């Protein structure tokens, strides 16, 4: 894939991304920027659906952008921006809300899950319209591909439906994008419960490796990771989910194949293996944390990068918005 337009977004809902986000999604963003015209945004408006202290949201938005740069998103190659700095997202979202069925939006599984979890009291209207704002995020940039995890497939499908409906009813304004969900990408599991996906909403953080964890914390988390009976370092997701998860992590970061890693540890115990995985992870994450901290210590520079990303994003987005407004009959 090359010379395509790519767009993706991530919510600034936590203080640090985790290893699952990095290996499952963000590493791909870095690769895609090499031969494509990539737009990546920190979706702070989406984060408003979860009640957060204003100062904390501000901090998390900046630290999310800083981490994206630290993992290798290069603002000279990709357009990196913050969603709320491009007003066209909200403007187009309203248009889309008016051509999306209530029933259609009610069928979104993420909405159903989140509203069920939070209960009626904590379910705001924003949570309901969230996927429609996401459709605007995407369609404003006319992307060919939207690299996301499996859980976002339905939102990209809705985006395609909205685009097709708009094009058919009014004028052919939108390109129809495709979700890019790479099956072979690492699915990283929790170190304490290796049958469950590593997730920011885990009950305990002891099985979740955060990109900004200290080396000590990372080492401790790996040393206390849950492994399986037996002592052979062998990939077998059914019988040895813990060891298999560690092998996946090692291989993704060391660049060695799973078989090579298995061979390196034949005849050695789980203890040695856990330490070695921790070392590989620490040497990958240390420079990321260091670079994130540097970027956070000069916020004016970081803000400048994001402002210039927003200028580029605004140019593309406002053109699409203009075409959509005009097609639907709003006068300019
Ligand atoms: P989320 O944390 O759900 O906002 O996810 C951000 C991105 O990271 C999405 O594209 C997810 O598919 C991906 N992701 C989240 N958790 C994992 C995991 N444990 N393994 C692989 N990818 C993940
Ligand atoms: N809903 C996505 C998630 O939770 C985040 C998101 C918002 C997004 N807008 C987007 C992803 C546009 C891709 C494209 O992961």
Mean pLDDT of 220-231: 93
Catalytic residues: 114, 197, 200
Q: What is the largest CA-CA distance in the chain?
A: 74
Place of tokens 């203009």: 322
Query: Whose CA is closest to atom 14 on ligand 1?
Result: 21
The predicted structure's pLDDT at residue 184: 59
Query: Which of 12, 29, 62, 291 is CA-nearest to residue 147?
Result: 29
Return the sign of the alpha-carbon dihedral for residues 156, 161, 166, 167: positive
Query: Whose CA is closest to atom 3 on ligand 2?
Result: 10
Mean pLDDT of 33-61: 97
DSSP 36: S
Would the pLDDT of 252 be above 80? yes
Query: Whose CA is closest to atom 22 on ligand 1?
Result: 24
**What SS3 state is found at 56?**
helix
Mean pLDDT of the chain: 95
Q: Which helix or strand (DSSP H or E) is residue 273 part of?
A: helix 270-297
Q: What digits encode the pLDDT tens for the residues 254-308?
A: 999 999 999 999 999 999 999 999 999 999 999 999 999 999 999 999 999 999 9
Query: Which of 131, 122, 136, 139 is CA-nearest to residue 102?
Result: 131
Taking the CA of 186 as reference, the closest ligand is 1
Cα separation of the two ends of the chain = 37
The predicted structure's pLDDT at residue 183: 67
**CA dist., res. 225 & res. 240, Å (int):** 13
Minimum-distance ligand 2 atom for the alpha carbon of 133: 9
Would the pLDDT of 122 be above 90? no
- Count Cβ atoms below 10 Å from residue 12 Cβ, excluding itself: 25
Q: What digits encode the pLDDT tens for the residues 230-251?
A: 889 999 999 999 999 999 999 9
User: Which two tokens mark 115?
Assistant: 């509203």
Q: What digits encode the pLDDT tens for the residues 18-35?
A: 999 999 889 999 999 999
**CA dist., res. 2 & res. 21, Å (int):** 23
Query: Which of 228, 286, 237 is CA-nearest to residue 258?
Result: 237
pTM, two decimals, is 0.95
Minimum-distance ligand 2 atom for the alpha carbon of 46: 7
Cβ(64)–Cβ(30) below 8 Å: no
Cα of 190 vs centre of ligand 2, distance in Å, is: 22
Residue 146 near ligand 2, beta carbon < 6 Å: yes
**CA dist., res. 42 & res. 62, Å (int):** 9
């Amino acid at each position: 894939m090359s010379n395509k337009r790519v767009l993706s977004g991530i919510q600034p809902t936590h203080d640090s991304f985790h290893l699952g986000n990095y290996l499952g999604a963000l590493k791909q963003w870095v690769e895609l920027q090499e031969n494509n015209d990539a737009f990546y945004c920190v979706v702070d408006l989406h984060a408003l659906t979860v009640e957060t202290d204003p100062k904390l949201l501000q901090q998390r938005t900046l630290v999310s952008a800083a981490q994206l740069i630290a993992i290798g998103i290069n603002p000279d190659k990709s357009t990196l921006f913050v969603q709320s700095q491009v007003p066209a997202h909200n403007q187009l979202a309203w248009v889309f809300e008016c051509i999306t069925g209530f029933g259609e939006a009610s069928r979104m599984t993420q909405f159903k899950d989140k509203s069920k979890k939070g209960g009626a009291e904590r379910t705001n209207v924003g949570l309901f319209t969230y996927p429609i704002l996401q459709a605007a995020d995407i369609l404003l940039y006319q992307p060919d591909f939207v690299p996301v995890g499996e859980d976002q497939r339905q939102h990209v499908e809705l985006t395609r439906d909205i685009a097709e409906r708009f094009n058919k009813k009014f004028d052919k304004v939108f390109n129809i994008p495709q979700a890019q969900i790479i099956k072979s990408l690492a699915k990283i599991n929790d170190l304490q419960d290796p049958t469950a996906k590593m997730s920011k909403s885990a009950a305990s953080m002891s099985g979740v490796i955060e990109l900004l964890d200290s080396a000590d914390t990372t080492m401790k988390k790996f040393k206390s990771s849950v492994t399986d009976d037996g002592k052979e370092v062998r990939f077998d997701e059914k019988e040895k989910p813990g060891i298999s998860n560690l092998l996946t992590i090692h291989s993704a970061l060391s660049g060695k194949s799973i078989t090579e890693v298995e061979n390196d540890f034949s005849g050695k115990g789980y203890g040695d293996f856990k330490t070695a995985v921790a070392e590989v992870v620490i040497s990958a994450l240390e420079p990321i944390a260091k670079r994130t901290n540097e970027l956070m210590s000069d916020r004016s520079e970081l803000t400048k990068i994001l402002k210039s990303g927003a200028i580029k994003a605004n140019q593309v987005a406002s053109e699409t918005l203009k075409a959509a407004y005009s097609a639907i009959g709003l006068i300019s």
